[in-house]
Structure 1
């Protein structure tokens, strides 16, 4: 969620003084995840809260909006969405002690800034030089164990501010720039009322088919694809499969849920909802776990994980607009609603990755929350067992 720190502090105050709003009516069942498989199921293993604003090697740990496991080292890599306001845009490595009995420890082992092609670090947006980035997601290349990371860019609020395009870049283990993925043309931010909305661009990338396919999702509907979700209706967001070289293999419409509760009428902020992460199943090139994250003033966060498939969905890559078009969206089935797990709190969960296989045969799933560097939020590591 790319809201400003000021917004989050104000929102947190509202959460402390408001009661839970009535939930919106549930959407009708979306059907099974696929024609031949049962939907995944999940149970809680445990959670761990990282100390707030932990100082690590001269940086402030926080804003963790993406996570992945490095098979080459056994460690995890986390991306911070600090846009170089506190320290240069960066990532962290850490050891997680996770097993069938829970999350025992989170020990950070390293941090590096991302580098521009010329070797410099990224500017803060306040510099106004068009060289800022908005880091959101990080994945470890299953072939090389180098890092692929996504950033949202910026659709400016004013005509005189620079447009910063979203990107998926490749980096070394020390953050050195190695290249970038060619993105679909409809991911481009334009000066017209087309393309991604502000702060709703790429927050989700994942490798599938043993590293041969890169799948990404925009967080919210494109401007030309229709309105954002509300209390009555959900929306369609685009999910794109590409080769490692950038060739588009297909683009599909994923159905995001409608808003789950009415906003506090005294809040100046409307709800935020979308897809901050998706994760390919290891053995099925068409199947994904999709994380939906919603924030509503007065009601807090709603975090749900769905089992979804592109199998049978309409390929919409040639459709300029989805508004009013008849398309078959991706099918999905609810895996878990974090409200049902008895966690210490529901945080701004934005990242997820597969962890080790458990003795039960289940696969562990690691979730991380972005604390927005706010004193009222937390960096929460949650481990689930997925069957």
Structure 2
């Protein structure tokens, strides 16, 4: 959820109680100079061929669609169930409207576009005691901020994993809610918690910034590994991106038991344009979703989403690799350190795809294969339950 809509969300709460462009920008956090090899490495993605993307189509879900006594919206994560072909979508409603929940849907995507989006069920995500998550208004210490969901590809696809980014308080005395990654069954019942890396914890002097925590994770190696990304730079890793420089965000690969196999620095782009000076809201940018390539444990699609007051959203999709990148798991801070970041190449800038409008795209998943040999990528936007935004399902074909 972007700062521009936190104001609207707060008001509502109180009221309730791809074209290809082979360019890359290297991130220089905190004024640190990454060295001459950094620019060279950041401009190519190993020996693999460049990925091409084209728009297949889009479909807009009716605003505040009423489905099984819930309000459809805030869709921040999407994943295709490889066993059934259906999709799981998580809402980032923090129990303001209805309890924290997810949906299942049939999305008809083929070479001719996106033909329909039909919701088939919804379930609340439950706490270990079987209760629903409370609203942050009534019980902020036990509230959840859901942002991403994946279907576990192992064991017959009978488990869902979901991430919530927690909450760093803005004033003394307010509770800290730590980021978490949990397992649930297909009805939303709690089935366990995954151990996150220690540097993902919110502490007084470090860890994720507020609203820039755990939003992205993906299964790799046929479900044997899990890779997650922090949305923005950790407090100790240097400042957020500006018009002049980008930043480094941490990407961590773990086994299913939680053991860290490697941690890498992903170079986040600088802010693309100046903000409207009359706006009280600063620009915001980060990584809301990451998607592992089947068969390549080092390669990922990375979604970057930026919001700037007066300019709106910029959405870009990158092909990135950890191959050759510095393992930074032992580094307490990246500020001032020489690291070789993940290499990346632009796959699609949504401004050039021909979409009807650019929305707050936060979730993505691999879709069905096409007869052409291309693979589809299905993406969804978070409308923030605002009439000014929409829930947009976009399908790309990539080769």
Decide: shared fold, TM above 0.5. Answer: yes
Q: Measure how far apart 1:40 and its partner are.
A: 1.2
Aligned with 1:126: secondary structure?
coil
Aligned with 2:296: secondary structure?
coil
Q: Quick one: which of 58, 77, 102 aligns to 1:47? A: 58
Aligned with 1:305: secondary structure?
strand
Match of 2:306 in 1: 294
1:325-336 correspondence to structure 2 within 5 Å = 325-336=337-348
Aligned with 2:222: secondary structure?
helix
Q: Answer yes or no: is the 8 Å Cα contact 1:170–1:178 preserved in 2.
A: yes
1:242-281 correspondence to structure 2 within 5 Å = 242-281=254-293
- Over 3 Å counting, the alpha-carbon distance change for 1:42 and 1:93 in structure 2 is same
Q: Give, in whole Å, the separation in 2 of the partners of 1:275 and 1:310.
A: 16
**Does 1:27 pair with 2:25?**
yes
Q: Quick one: which of 161, 175, 179 aligns to 2:174? A: 161
Match of 2:328 in 1: 316
Q: Measure how far apart 1:39 and its partner are.
A: 2.2
Q: Give, in whole Å, the separation in 2 of the partners of 1:26 and 1:308.
A: 11
Q: Answer yes or no: is the 8 Å Cα contact 1:138–1:148 preserved in 2.
A: yes
Q: Give, in whole Å, the separation in 2 of the partners of 1:274 and 1:168.
A: 19
1:1-387 correspondence to structure 2 within 5 Å = 1-3=1-3, 5=5, 7=7, 27=25, 30-34=42-46, 36-144=47-155, 145=157, 146-190=159-203, 192-387=204-399
- Where structure 2 has 5 or more consecutive residues not aligned to the other structure, the ranges are 11-22, 27-38
Q: Measure how far apart 1:159 and its partner are.
A: 1.5
Q: Answer yes or no: is the 8 Å Cα contact 2:226–2:254 preserved in 1.
A: yes
Q: Measure how far apart 1:74 and its partner are.
A: 1.2
Q: Give, in whole Å, the separation in 2 of the partners of 1:247 and 1:80.
A: 29
Q: What is the aligned length?
A: 371
Q: Measure how far apart 1:38 and its partner are.
A: 1.1
Aligned with 1:186: secondary structure?
helix
The structure 1 segments of at least 4 consecutive aligned residues displaced by more than 2 Å after TM superposition are 1-10, 25-30
Q: Give, in whole Å, the separation in 2 of the partners of 1:121 and 1:106.
A: 27
Q: Scaled by the length of structure 1, what TM-score is found? A: 0.94
Q: Measure how far apart 1:128 and its partner are.
A: 3.0
Residues 325-364 of structure 1, C-alpha deviation per residue, up to 9 Å, x if partnerless?
0000000000000000110100000000000000000000
Q: Answer yes or no: is the 8 Å Cα contact 2:3–2:281 preserved in 1.
A: no
Instruction: Calculate the aligned-residue CA RMSD, in Å.
Output: 1.5
Q: Give, in whole Å, the separation in 1 of the partners of 2:256 and 2:208.
A: 22
Q: Answer yes or no: is the 8 Å Cα contact 1:166–1:201 preserved in 2.
A: yes
Q: Measure how far apart 1:314 and its partner are.
A: 0.2
Q: Measure how far apart 1:136 and its partner are.
A: 0.3
Q: Measure how far apart 1:209 and its partner are.
A: 0.6
Match of 1:18 in 2: none
Q: Answer yes or no: is the 8 Å Cα contact 1:288–1:308 preserved in 2.
A: yes
Q: Give, in whole Å, the separation in 1 of the partners of 2:352 and 2:5.
A: 28
Residues 204-230 of structure 1, C-alpha deviation per residue, up to 9 Å, x if partnerless?
000001100000000000000000000
Match of 1:19 in 2: none
Q: Measure how far apart 1:5 and its partner are.
A: 4.0
Q: Give, in whole Å, the separation in 2 of the partners of 1:196 and 1:80.
A: 21
Q: Give, in whole Å, the separation in 2 of the partners of 1:9 and 1:113.
A: 20
Q: Measure how far apart 1:3 and its partner are.
A: 3.7
Q: Measure how far apart 1:193 and its partner are.
A: 2.2
Q: Give, in whole Å, the separation in 1 of the partners of 2:278 and 2:171.
A: 27
- Over 3 Å counting, the alpha-carbon distance change for 1:148 and 1:2 in structure 2 is farther
- Where structure 1 has 5 or more consecutive residues not aligned to the other structure, the ranges are 11-24
Q: Give, in whole Å, the separation in 1 of the partners of 2:394 and 2:45.
A: 24
